[in-house]
Structure 1
Amino acid sequence: MRLLAHLARAAIALTLLTVPAHAERVRDLGQFQGVRTNQLTGYGVVVGLPGTGDDNLEYLTQAMKGVSGRMGLTLPPGIAPGLKNAAAVMITADLPAFAKPGQRIDVTVSTIGKAKSLRGGALILTALYGADGQVYAMAQGNLAVGGLDASGRDGSKVTVNIPTVGRIAEGASVERAVATGFDSGEMLRWNLFEADFLTAARVRDAINTRLPNTASVEDGVTLALRLPGNPDSRASVMAAIEMIDVNPAETAARVIVNSRTGTVVINSAVRLSPAAISHGKLTVRVEENQQVVQPAPFSRGRTATEQHSNVSVEEENRSVALFRGGASLSKVVDALNMLGVTPSDLVAILEALKQAGALKAEMVII
């Protein structure tokens, strides 16, 4: 019976040891070079606003004259049209990879002047440009605005969400396709989202195990892939590569500190060398009081004031937390919670540990 028990324990231990680490798909670790979205921008005019548009701004006046000129209407020189029902806006959109002429994409419209709200407005036909200055889409349509702005004559005002930003679902039509290089050349490159030599090597090995002599590492980010020249076969191979499971390297030890919000994030790779922490809070309070002093009856004295100051010093008693070598994230958090530290105190402790050489991690301040 004892032998059977020992064998059972050994089998369980062997099972635990052979459990694979958490694997990620190749498509979640990076992307093929050139297969990406492209940003588009444009400048246009929104009309039909119920008096919530811009004032008679010069750039909006020029834009309205340009729009009127395209319609065959020439405004008299020196006359600025009433523009409270119109607003100058910037249009932004993302052009997906492989988008073809005639397909529709979403656009976001934002005011650039003094317009109070875009609710109820319609965007006039506007060209959307890429980084190369070429027109890739044309946008037009009625805006959907989730914000609300209301004001009273006494100056009171209520604003819900952001009424100066709107969205047009499928509001732009693609006019030009972007070349991705997908079907040209023998080599196609694949890039990691975050540079890591070990992860790049593991992705290479996983791809070559599935498709021998296909991948080679160029640097800590890029892999060169030898793929078939036929677009149909190339797409099939790319789809197979994206679904391969890879065990990525453990992330580097890193502590992220948001100095504006006081947020501190510590990843699981952070370890501490032996260190002792004692964090106390010293409070110095100074109180100033003025007392009125009256003269004695029938005397020639005058009423005066006397200054009384009270200075007190308080120091909270804090225990000392001892970190042994290789302390993990959970032990670090438990010890700091025992000290009762606030986020701002935590930042000070982490900086002190870093200076002492006990914190083996990169500190990133955002």
Structure 2
Amino acid sequence: MTLIAQPFTAQGAAARIKDIVDVEGVRENQLVGYGLVVGLNGTGDSLNNAPFTRQSLQAMLERLGVNTRGENMRTANVAAVMVTANLPAFSTQGSRLDVNVAALGDASSLQGGTLLVTPLLGADGEVYAIAQGSVTINGFKAEGDSATVISGVPTTGRISSGGLIEREVGFALGAQRSLRLALRNPDFTTSRRIALAINDFIGVPCATPEDPATIRLMLPRHFNGNIVDLITDIEQLVVDTDVPAKIVIDENSGLIVMGKDVRVSTVAIAQSNLTVTISESPEVDQPAPLSRGDTVVVPRTDLTVTQTDSDLGVVNESVTLQQLVDGLNALGIAPRDLIAILQAIKASGALQAEIEVL
């Protein structure tokens, strides 16, 4: 793998304010519920192995006037599922939302199933939506006596517009006189640039950076509109974002990503590689003719150790990311060795960047 650097300008990437901040109060809420999917073609839970499915089925039938207590039920057409959904901001009562369904027991597929009425609860324990409908899955499972074919995950599915909102999350955004803008990637420079761009556009000091992640937005006294109008006016403003110098390393895959502001002082590097090769060549040892010996397999192992020493290479002090990448690529170092080298350069104090290991 070779490091690649993209050309860049002196300033950071330009982005709209609406793409780099979140507005206070404008957020989704996560919902969760427990329900039953029925109508499965023998691919549901085994009631003996999933007692929660048996209990839920008995409780549901009792609410419908059917008493099954003490009976030995063997249906395989029912599956217990967890139902999740995201309640969009400012959703109104009676509107619809999509829900996700995932099997909880040992059901092999939810294909052809129908979710029965399932309350969806928020973090406060209140019911905000009701879910019901036919489950659509992206995978399938087909099996015979000696072969099975599975595509995707047939134990998860989705019900488009399967949730009906019953309770609204109250937040009068238009009545607010001030609110906060939260940066998705906190940074002092970006926070101040956003505030300056807003104040220049409005003409009065209505935005104040409070910290690297927060800008306080005040509704001007003589502004022609409410806070929603103000957000609409400023969200299209373009700001040059700024990020700290950082190197992200994924040691599992050998991936290295460098930010444009990474700098390194002049350092000398030498890397020694040790290669161990092991090969097995078992031999068959047969007894002499007319003897009573047995034929046996005798193990034979060939082990070779090779050590390759590289010359001492120099990475000159870099001015741009392209120069740094060119210097490291010129050494011909493998990605995993390069990870160790970057960490060693950082330990020596010659790397002016933060290293984040995933």
- Give the shorter-chain TM-score range: 0.7 to 0.9
**Gap change, CA 1:228 and 1:169, over 3 Å in 2:** farther
Tell me how far apart the structure 2 counterparts of residues 133 and 46 of structure 1 sit (CA, whole Å): 23
Helix, strand or coil at the partner of 1:269: coil
Q: Is the 8 A contact 1:183 1:231 kept in 2?
A: no
CA contact (8 A) 1:128 1:139 kept: yes
Are 2:338 and 1:356 aligned?
Answer: no
* Aligned-partner Cα distance in 2 for 1:117–1:198: 52
- 1:242 Cα offset (Å): 0.8
- The total of aligned residue pairs comes to 340
Q: Percent identity?
A: 38
SS at match of 1:173: strand
Over 3 Å counting, the alpha-carbon distance change for 1:181 and 1:83 in structure 2 is: farther
8 Å contact 1:34–1:181 — kept in the other structure? Answer: no
Equivalent AA in structure 1 for residue 52 of structure 2: Y
TM-score w.r.t. length of structure 2: 0.85
The whole-number CA distance in structure 2 between the counterparts of 1:143 and 1:288 is 53
Correspondence list, 1:1-366, <5 A: 22-56=13-47, 57-70=50-63, 72-154=64-146, 156-211=147-202, 212-227=204-219, 233-249=226-242, 251-285=243-277, 312-316=304-308, 318-366=310-358
Are 1:318 and 1:339, in contact at CA under 8 Å, matched by a contact in 2? no
* Higher RCO (Cα < 8 Å, 6 or more apart): 2
How many Å separate the matches in 2 of 1:307 and 1:121? Answer: 56
Counterpart in 2 of 1:15?
none
**Deviation at residue 74 of structure 1 after TM alignment:** 2.9
Say whether the 8 Å CA contact 1:53–1:85 is kept in structure 2. Answer: yes
| Deviation larger for 168-177 or 316-325 | 316-325
Alpha-carbon RMSD:
3.2
Higher fraction of helix: 1
Distance 2:302 2:58 in 1: 72
Structure 2 unpaired stretches of 5+: 1-8, 287-296
Query: 280-289 or 73-82: which moved more?
Result: 280-289
How far the C-alpha of 1:226 sits from its partner, in A, is 1.4
* TM-score normalised by length of structure 1: 0.83
Change (3 A) 1:204 1:286: closer
Distance 2:111 2:281 in 1: 57
3-state SS in 2 of match to 1:50: coil
Per-residue deviation at 1:292?
Answer: 10
3-state SS in 2 of match to 1:183:
helix
> In the TM superposition, what whole-angstrom CA distance separates every residue of 1:105-135 from its partner, at most 9, and x where no partner exists?
1111011111111111111111111111111
Aligned residue for 1:5? none
Which structure would you say has the larger Rg?
Answer: 1
Which 5+ residue runs of structure 1 have no aligned equivalent? 1-17, 295-304
Question: Aligned to 1:218, what secondary structure does the other structure show?
Answer: strand
Q: CA deviation at 1:99?
A: 0.6
The structural deviation recorded for 1:245 is 1.6
Counterpart amino acid of 1:282?
Answer: L
Q: 1:271: how far off?
A: 1.3
Helix, strand or coil: the match of 2:173?
coil
C-alpha distance in structure 2 between counterparts of 1:177 and 1:109, whole Å: 23
The 1:208/1:312 distance shift into structure 2, 3 A limit, reads same
Distance 2:340 2:75 in 1: 54
Maintained 8 Å contact 2:177/2:227? no
